[in-house]
DNA sequence: CACTCCGAATTGGTCGACCAATATCTACCA
DNA sequence: TGGTAGATATTGGTCGACCAATTCGGAGTG
């Protein structure tokens, strides 16, 4: 069924292919070679159209795996952030976290309100009872953001959020986990305890150190030369 | 002078070509065929890089006429940043600077190249000979940004730029200056010296302390209860 | 002098062919 | 049974070659 779409614009053609093909969110599109056949386009032209759709956030690509339709719920971060995430190495991303987040934790220790601390403890508890790594990571995110909120500085919170968006855009490759689900003995739990305790005691230096230690340990586990 | 740029990324290669070629706003770039020769790229690859710059609004193209550098090099900060700057108090803004910039200075001390340091020294010299406070502030900006660049981490540089845009948007009210023009004895000069020296010596801790001291001193002068 | 037309210069777009990088599957072996 | 190495599938990126569309200037003509 080659060249079934009449439109001359390859992007429109591809869009219609996706729409008419009934590919829901998360569905895997055919490989590029098949798409070139179906649409009657060369690979270069097809890839340019795919680039457009990817920039718009309609699809999502990954080498070796394929091309997928995005979940339509997610909001698309600005181009600049996506670009940054694409060319930033995971190492540099972690390096930035180690530089920035301890400074924020220090401010949090100074300014944290009772509610802020309650928020952190809640995330901590939820992390403990997380059944999957995915759920754990979500709570980990929430804990770190609660710390940023506790700093009581909209600018710092904004910068933290920017950092986080880039973090999510960075391709982390295969993070291999040793266990099926987070265990109680997972090092991060203890490190989080220390961090929250320091903030609870309004001890800026301790909070700074705790966050720094925690992120360095995460970093070490990520990049260990196994 | 083919392939004079070392970078592997065609886009940055092209960016550097434009920057180093001294093409001001409105200037006409060489035709694509010449660019491919100068940069050692194929036309497809070059055009992809040109696409990126055009999307960013850096250049402007038209069939039959050529490629031109855009007029408005001034990037307008997004509404979100202006908003943030409007409701942020100068005190909190400075607080964020004191938190973030020392951490960046530490990274700079670790990663600074000879060029980075030369850049800082240039800004320093220019600040010394500044005739007006306005000119001085511009060089001060450049020095701080040179430090951020020296950190050799695009994410940190991005965050610094965001911080800076908010800083500019913050209403600083009447900053009363005691002298008509920056004097040699202005405290910041000495503080900058210490900072650059620390980075030159690749001493992270000293650079961290120097930046922190400097910003706290700026902060103290701003908010002193006269 | 004014007008027309043609050709050169320039960007726009497509094509097909490579090879590289990454992920997944499979067959084999201990 | 479990793990490892190699084969296979898939996207990433570059290259050089076409031809089309548009602009601009200059040669030729009245």
pLDDT exceeds cutoff 50 at A53: yes
Tell me whether B159 touches chain A (CB under 8 Å): yes
CATH code, B60: 1.10.10.10
Which of B69, B94, B120 represents a domain boundary (last residue)?
A: B69
Both B158 and B47 in one domain: the answer is no
Report the CATH number that the domain containing residue B159 is assigned in CATH.
1.20.120.530
**Which of these three, A18, A42, A69, is where a domain ends?**
A69
- A81/D19 CA-to-C1' distance in Å: 38
The per-residue pLDDT of chain A, averaged, comes to 85
Q: With both helix axes pointing from N to C terminus, report the angle between A114-128 and A133-150 in degrees, rounded to the nearest 10.
A: 170
Q: Do B104 and A99 touch (CB under 8 A)?
A: yes
Q: Which residue is nearest to nucleotide C21 (CA to C1')?
A: A63
CA distance B108 to B105: 5
Place of tokens 């540089």: B157
My answer on whether A87 and A118 are in the same domain is yes
Asked if residue A1 is part of any domain, the answer here is: no
Q: Are A180 and A131 in contact (CB under 8 A)?
A: no
**What's the rounded Cα separation, in Å, for the pair B170 and A155?**
11
Residue B209 neighbours by CB under 8 Å, 6+ apart: B102, B198
Q: Please say whether the beta carbons of B86 and B171 come within 8 A.
A: yes
Do B15 and B47 belong to one domain? yes
Q: Are residues B48 and B145 in the same domain?
A: no
Q: For residue B45, what are the domain limits?
A: 10-69
HSE (side-chain half, CA atoms, 13 Å) at B33:
0
Residue A104 has pLDDT above 90, yes or no: yes
Q: How far apart are CA B223 and CA B90, in angstroms?
A: 9
Is residue A3's beta carbon less than 7 angstroms from any atom in nucleic acid strand C? no
Instruction: Give the separation between CA A68 and CA A59, rounded to whole angstroms.
Output: 6
**A74 within some domain:** no
Distance from CA of A141 to the nearest CA of B (A): 19
Give a yes or no: residue A93 inside a domain: yes
> Could you tell me if A90 and A60 lie in one domain?
no
User: How many domains does one find in chain A?
Assistant: 2
* Chain B residues 61-90 within 7 Å (CB) of strand C: 61-67
Q: What dihedral angle (degrees, nearest 10) is formed by the CA atoms of B30, B36, B39, B42? A: 150
- For helices A187-200 and A114-128, give the axis angle rounded to 10 degrees: 170
Q: Please check whether residue A18 is in contact with residue A58, taking contact to mean a CB–CB distance below 8 angstroms.
A: yes
Same domain for A56 and A98? no
B151: CB partners within 8 A, 6+ apart = A99, B104, B107, B108, B111, B157
A180 touches chain B (CB under 8 A): no
CA-based nearest residue to B95, from A204, A226, A125: A204
Residue-wise pLDDT tens digits, A113-127: 999 999 999 999 998
Say yes or no: B43 and B93 in one domain: no
- Whether B97 and B161 share a structural domain: yes
Centre a 10 Å sphere on the Cβ of residue B62 and count the other Cβ atoms it contains.
8
Q: Which residue of B has its CA nearest to A48?
A: B48
Question: Do A86 and A170 fall within a single domain?
Answer: yes
On the question of pLDDT at A225 being above 50, the answer is no
A206 domain-assigned: yes
Looking at the DSSP assignment, which residues form a beta bridge with residue A29? A67
**Contact yes or no for A95 and B107 at CB 8 A:** yes
How far: A171 CA to D3 C1' (Å)? 27
Residue A84 confidence (pLDDT): 84
Q: What is the pLDDT of residue B2?
A: 40
Under 8 Å between Cβ of A2 and A41: no
**Same domain flag for B92 and B200:** yes
Q: What is the pLDDT of residue A73?
A: 56
Are residues A108 and A133 both part of a single domain?
A: yes
* Ordered per-residue pLDDT tens for chain B, 226 residues: 444 455 678 998 999 999 888 888 888 999 999 999 999 999 999 999 999 999 888 898 998 899 998 876 556 667 778 788 888 888 999 999 999 999 999 999 999 999 999 999 999 999 888 888 888 888 999 999 999 999 999 999 999 999 999 998 876 665 666 676 766 667 788 899 999 999 999 999 999 999 999 999 998 888 765 4
Q: Are A104 and A158 contacting, i.e. CB atoms less than 8 angstroms apart?
A: no
The full 3-state SS of chain A, as one line of letters, equals CCCCCCCCCHHHHHHHHHHHCCCCCCCEECCHHHHHHHHCCCHHHHHHHHHHHHHHCCEEEECCCEEEECCCCCCCCCHHHHHHHHHCCHHHHHHHHHHHHHHHHHHHHHHCCHHHHHHHHHHHHHHHCCCCHHHHHHHHHHHHHHHHHHCCCHHHHHHHHHHHHHHHHCCCCCCCCCCCCCCCCCHHHHHHHHHHHHHHCCCHHHHHHHHHHHHHHHHHHHHCCC
- Tell me how far apart the alpha carbons of residues B71 and B51 are, in angstroms, rounded to a whole number: 17
Domain final residue pick, B51, B69, B87: B69
- For residue range A118-157, list pLDDT tens digits in order: 999 999 999 888 877 778 888 999 999 999 999 999 999 9
> How would residue A55 be classed by pLDDT, with cut points 50, 70 and 90?
confident
In a domain, A3, yes or no: no
Contact B9, B17 (CB under 8 A): no
Q: Is residue A123 part of a domain?
A: yes
């Amino acid at each position: 069924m080659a060249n079934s779409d009449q439109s001359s614009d390859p992007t429109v053609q591809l869009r219609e292919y996706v729409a008419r093909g009934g590919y829901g969110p998360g569905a895997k599109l055919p490989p590029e070679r098949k798409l070139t056949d179906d649409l009657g386009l060369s690979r270069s032209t097809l890839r340019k159209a795919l680039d457009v759709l990817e920039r718009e956030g309609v699809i999502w690509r990954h080498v070796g795996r394929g091309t997928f339709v995005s979940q339509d719920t997610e909001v698309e971060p600005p181009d600049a952030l996506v670009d940054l995430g694409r060319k930033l190495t995971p190492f540099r991303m972690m390096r930035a976290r180690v530089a920035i987040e301890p400074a924020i934790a220090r401010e949090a220790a100074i300014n944290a309100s009772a509610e802020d601390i309650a928020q952190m403890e809640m995330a901590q508890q939820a992390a403990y009872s997380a059944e999957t790594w995915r759920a754990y990571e979500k709570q980990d995110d929430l804990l770190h953001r609660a710390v940023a909120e506790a700093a009581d500085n909209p600018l710092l919170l904004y910068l933290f959020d920017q950092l986080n968006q880039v973090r999510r855009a960075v391709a982390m490759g295969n993070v291999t986990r040793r266990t099926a689900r987070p265990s109680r003995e997972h090092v991060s739990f203890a490190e989080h305890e220390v961090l929250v305790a320091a903030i609870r005691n309004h001890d800026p230096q301790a909070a700074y150190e705790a966050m720094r230690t925690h992120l360095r340990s995460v970093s070490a586990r990520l990049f260990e030369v196994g």
